[in-house]
Amino acid sequence: MSDTAELAARAAAIGVGATLVMDVWALLLRRAGVPSLNLALLGRWVGHVFRGRVRHTSIASAAPIRGERWIGWIAHYAIGITFSALLLGTFGLEWAESPTLMPALGTGIATVVAPLCILQPGMGAGIASRKTPTPVFNSLKSLITHTVFGLGMYLAALAAAWAIPVVR
């Protein structure tokens, strides 16, 4: 397997695994009465981005996009894979073959910039949810969720290190 193929395989495995861990976390939050991102609204936002509109006053009042729930789920996992590729691009395949916690955790925490500075403003919530009634709570929830994602990247990297053979 070439380095490029190995990087792609590990990024996919780590990204899917970490996103699954984050989804379990979101499910636990919802069961505790804490709302989390509606992936249909993510799909609506992505659909509008592809039509040239990045910012909305309120994504909930924007015109629905056909298949927005599926688009949201696909985007959610594609973003997880992309963030995992960023981790591997920064720390290399050597890290992925023998993962340690801190690079994954640090990368997960760093990825909180995306929702705070891109997704939330684009959906109408403002930078760091400043236009919502609970911006500090929402931002802290995003930080914790992305920390969980980082932990998920580490756990998924451990599983991938066991499952994907090194061919060098």
Give the residue from 137, 117, 144 showing the smallest Cα distance to 128.
117
In sequence order, the 6+-apart residues with CB closer than 8 A to the CB of 11 are 81, 84, 85, 88
Which DSSP state fits 133?
A: S
Q: What is the pLDDT of residues 16-29, one digit of tens each?
A: 999 999 999 999 99
The answer to whether residue 168 scores a pLDDT higher than 70 is: no
Give the residue from 84, 114, 105, 85 showing the smallest Cα distance to 148.
105
The answer to whether residue 1 scores a pLDDT higher than 80 is: no
pLDDT, average across residues 57-63: 95
Q: What is the pLDDT of residues 100-112, one digit of tens each?
A: 999 999 999 999 9
What residues does each domain of the chain span?
3-163
Q: What is the DSSP string of 36-61?
A: ---HHHHHHHHHHHHTT----S-GGG
pLDDT, average across residues 122-131: 96
What sign does the CA torsion over 10, 144, 115, 62 have?
positive
**How sure is the predictor about 3, in pLDDT bands with cuts at 50, 70 and 90?**
confident
Lowest-pLDDT choice from 69-78, 99-108, 125-134, 157-166 = 157-166
Cα–Cα distance list, 136 to 25, 74, 141, 152 (Å): 19, 28, 8, 24
The answer to whether residue 75 scores a pLDDT higher than 80 is: yes
Mean pLDDT of the chain: 95
The answer to whether residue 145 scores a pLDDT higher than 90 is: yes
- % the chain with pLDDT above 70: 99
The answer to whether residue 167 scores a pLDDT higher than 90 is: no
What pTM did the predictor assign?
0.94
